[in-house]
């Protein structure tokens, strides 16, 4: 069976881009009344507000109207697994903690995947503006600008992005040992608080590599495609290509990938 055409992928990207822009406009509007929002607890340190839910509803509406054949799987309203059939994998607000605190790094992430293979992805940077988008085989862009991963080859010059395992501290020691090994040999490390935008930062060459011990499919699905289409590599900790499922994610400009996997896994450098 032949796969989707590039024309079809672009059509999916356009639908996702419109949905993300509409949700982003809503989030931006709501940020004015941020201080009065009610924080609902998902767990002791993980919150959600009506803004996350409202943004996901906008996205679902858009898909129901323009592409009802696409099943929507969203962080807040569910929808089943991410690896069967044609699905939109949606994080309506990635970086909720940043949003709730007015820290300007949060976005909307949507990936269209077919049987587990990302076909089109968009991440809308709500606070700073900029629509990141990619289609399989069609390259990665921010607005009209083509994206390329960095050309840094020397670990000592690398800026590394990461996410802290704050939702599952059982892996904190493992994570801290990784940080400890990296700290003296790289140029800097950043925890910016939105995995979807962290992956965009690898795609646009700001970060030379990024890792996080556990992410959900909606945090990473669009970002995986963006990084790959910008020339980078995205795997799990063992070096297997990352899929649109939850797990550990290791992304890089490609050149640094084996070195990065080695140091994360504490293999002799």
Q: Which positions touch Ca ion (CB under 5 A)?
A: 75, 91, 93-94, 219
Q: Which is nearer to ligand IPD, 195 or 200 (CB)?
A: 195
Residue 59 CB, shortest distance to Ca ion, in Å, is 12
125 binds ligand IPD (CB under 6 A): no
Q: Which of 17, 215, 226, 256 binds ligand IPD (CB under 6 A)?
A: 215
Size (the chain), residues: 269
212 neighbors 171 (Cβ within 8 angstroms)? no
In angstroms, the CA 138 to CA 185 distance is: 35
207 neighbors 197 (Cβ within 8 angstroms)? no
105 neighbors 112 (Cβ within 8 angstroms)? no
194 binds ligand IPD (CB under 6 A): yes
Residue 219 CB, shortest distance to ligand IPD, in Å, is 5
- The residue behind tokens 């700073």 is 128
Q: Which is nearer to ligand IPD, 91 or 229 (CB)?
A: 91
In angstroms, the CA 191 to CA 202 distance is: 13
Q: Which is nearer to Ca ion, 208 or 219 (CB)?
A: 219
Q: For residue 124, which of 132, 112, 116, 114 has the smallest C-alpha distance?
A: 132
Q: For residue 226, which of 203, 250, 245 has the smallest C-alpha distance?
A: 203
- The residue behind tokens 């943004």 is 55
- Token code pair at residue 109: 């992430």
Residue 134 CB, shortest distance to ligand IPD, in Å, is 18
96 binds ligand IPD (CB under 6 A): yes
201 binds ligand IPD (CB under 6 A): no
Helix (H) or strand (E) holding 172: helix 172-182
Q: Which of 163, 205, 223, 232 binds ligand IPD (CB under 6 A)?
A: 163
Q: Which is nearer to Ca ion, 75 or 229 (CB)?
A: 75
Q: Which of 76, 94, 201, 208 binds ligand IPD (CB under 6 A)?
A: 94
Q: Which is nearer to ligand IPD, 4 or 95 (CB)?
A: 95
In angstroms, the CA 244 to CA 228 distance is: 13
Residue 213 CB, shortest distance to Ca ion, in Å, is 14
Report the interface residues with ligand IPD, using CB under 6 A. 91, 94-97, 163, 193-195, 212, 215, 219
């Amino acid at each position: 069976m032949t796969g989707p055409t590039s024309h079809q992928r672009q059509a999916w990207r356009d639908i996702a881009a419109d949905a993300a822009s509409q949700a982003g406009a809503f989030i931006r509007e709501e940020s004015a009344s941020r201080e009065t929002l009610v924080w609902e607890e998902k767990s002791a340190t993980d919150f959600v507000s009506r803004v996350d839910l409202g943004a996901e509803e906008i996205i679902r509406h858009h898909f129901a109207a323009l592409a009802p054949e696409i099943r929507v799987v969203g962080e807040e309203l569910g929808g089943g697994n991410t690896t069967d059939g044609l699905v939109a994998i949606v994080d309506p607000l990635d970086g909720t903690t940043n949003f709730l605190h007015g820290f300007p790094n949060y976005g909307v992430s949507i990936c269209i995947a077919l049987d587990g293979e990302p076909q089109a992805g968009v991440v809308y940077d709500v606070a700073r503006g900029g629509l990141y988008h990619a289609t399989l085989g069609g390259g990665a862009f921010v607005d009209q600008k083509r994206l390329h991963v960095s050309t840094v080859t020397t670990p000592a010059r690398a800026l590394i992005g990461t996410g802290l395992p704050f939702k599952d501290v059982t892996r904190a020691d493992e994570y801290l040992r990784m940080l400890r090994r990296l700290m003296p040999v790289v140029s800097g490390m950043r925890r910016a608080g939105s995995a979807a935008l962290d992956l965009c930062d690898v795609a646009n060459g700001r970060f030379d590599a990024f890792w996080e011990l556990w992410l959900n499919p909606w945090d990473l699905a669009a970002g995986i495609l963006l990084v790959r289409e910008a020339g980078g590599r995205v795997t799990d900790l063992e070096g297997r290509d990352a899929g649109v499922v939850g797990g550990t994610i290791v992304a890089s400009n490609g050149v640094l990938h084996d070195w990065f996997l080695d140091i994360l896994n504490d293999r002799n450098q």
